Amino acid sequence: MAKLKGRGYASVNYPTGMNLGGDPSQALIHSTTTGTFVVSLSSVDLGQGLKTVVAQCAAEVLGLPFENILIDTADTDTGPHCMGTFASRGTHRVGNAVIMAAAEAREVMLAVAADELEVDPGDLETDGTGFIAVKGAEEKRIHITDLALAAHFKHGRTISGRGIFLKEQSTVVPETGEMDPDSCQAHACTVAVVEVDDETGVVEVLEMHNAYEIGRALNPAMVTQQVEGGAWMGMSHALFEATEPYYPARDHGPADFTEYLMPGPADIARQYSVILERPADNGPFGAKGIGEMTANAPIPAIANAIFDACGVRVETMPFTPERVLRDLDALKGTT
């Protein structure tokens, strides 16, 4: 009886967005009277961080502090249309739409600033701290709060912009089956190191090495966390999660999600993550989608590591102790 160590790897290519009847998302942006830019979306942030990332996109294009951006995803009935947050498309689609909307709003912002400062809009620049200033004469400047007030109450202007990103529907070429369903693809590889207890069948994941090529990482901390949280979910799919009972009687199965097995803090692997940045030409500042793919490669990597450790080819998820032991027995010819 021994604990057998093994290492396995797996790779994944993952599309950003999908075909549907075209894959659009819209964004509208407007300035309040005091210079907060409200980005209206129907896209949902369910914890993945969409609000943070698209606020970064808006702030970057407007040349204003991140704190000046307010993302409003309140209502899909009244907001501009979004196909949805799925297919790892949010950052790419919504980010592009927000960039387009913010660019239009920036143009109005600079035009109003030009009127206020009595200069040509082409001579103006934003400094990222909230001021719009004349290039080379930074003392001639106006703060966005004063500018927004002036736009409303003096010039009668709305500082606003519209944006949409549309990936048009791609039809299939009948002869070849060719189509162009997505916008770009992210790539990743996971190496898993596991230990298999050949007496109990328990598989423990010791290490996960994650390498991700995702275009540009708009928010590297969130990217790393998505990679590691996703790897944890992959490990969960591989070793724990099932609605069916592990053992023959149905009442051994989970009755609800509180009994649904997933790894806890004591089951975590050491994770090592590397992000490679090769900007996609159609991505917002080069970003590709990094969502669902993070749970994919860990599963076959763990299966391959189990094979490396003990020669067993597990084929049904989750790789429970019972399944590993049955396969081990079959391998040894003891059943």
Partner 1 sequence: MPSSVVNLTVNGREQEFLARPAESLLTSLRDRLGLMAAKRGCAQGSCGTCTVLVDDKPVMSCLVAVETIEAAEVRTLEGVADGERLDEVQQAFLDGFATQCGFCTAGMIMTAEALLAENPDPTHDEVVEAISGNVCRCTGYRAIVAAILDAAGRRK
Binding residues for partner 1, rule: CB under 8 A, are: 46-49, 221-222, 225-226, 228-229, 231-233, 257-258, 262, 264-266, 268, 271
Alpha helices in 5-94 (DSSP H): 50-62
The least CB distance from residue 83 to partner 1, in Å, is 22
Q: Which is nearer to partner 1, 70 or 103 (CB)?
A: 70
Check if the beta carbon of residue 48 is closer than 8 Å to that of residue 85: yes
How far is it, in rounded angstroms, from Cα 78 to Cα 261? 39
In a 13 Å sphere around the CA of 257, the CA atoms on its Cβ side amount to 0
Q: Which is nearer to partner 1, 16 or 48 (CB)?
A: 48
The least CB distance from residue 162 to partner 1, in Å, is 30
Q: Which is nearer to partner 1, 228 or 327 (CB)?
A: 228
Q: Which is nearer to partner 1, 112 or 238 (CB)?
A: 238
How far is it, in rounded angstroms, from Cα 69 to Cα 14? 31
Closest CA to 299 of 199, 214, 232, 254: 232
The least CB distance from residue 222 to partner 1, in Å, is 8
Q: Which is nearer to partner 1, 179 or 221 (CB)?
A: 221
Structure tokens at 90: 């949010």
Q: Which is nearer to partner 1, 55 or 132 (CB)?
A: 55
Ramachandran sector of residue 177 (left: φ over 0; alpha: ψ -120 to 50; beta: rest): left
The least CB distance from residue 273 to partner 1, in Å, is 10
User: Between β-strands 184-197 and 203-213, what pairing exists: parallel, antiparallel or unpaired?
Assistant: antiparallel
Check if the beta carbon of residue 302 is closer than 8 Å to that of residue 238: yes
Q: Which is nearer to partner 1, 18 or 268 (CB)?
A: 268
| Residue carrying structure tokens 């980005």 | 39
The least CB distance from residue 241 to partner 1, in Å, is 12
Look at residue 58 and give its three-state secondary structure: helix
Q: Name 190's Cβ contacts closer than 8 Å, sequence gap at least 6.
A: 9, 10, 11, 208, 209, 210, 211, 231, 234, 297, 298, 301
The least CB distance from residue 151 to partner 1, in Å, is 32
Q: Which is nearer to partner 1, 25 or 226 (CB)?
A: 226
Q: Name 145's Cβ contacts closer than 8 Å, sequence gap at least 6.
A: 34, 35, 130
The least CB distance from residue 52 to partner 1, in Å, is 10
The least CB distance from residue 91 to partner 1, in Å, is 15
Q: Can you state the angle between helices 220-239 and 298-310, rounded to 10 degrees?
A: 50
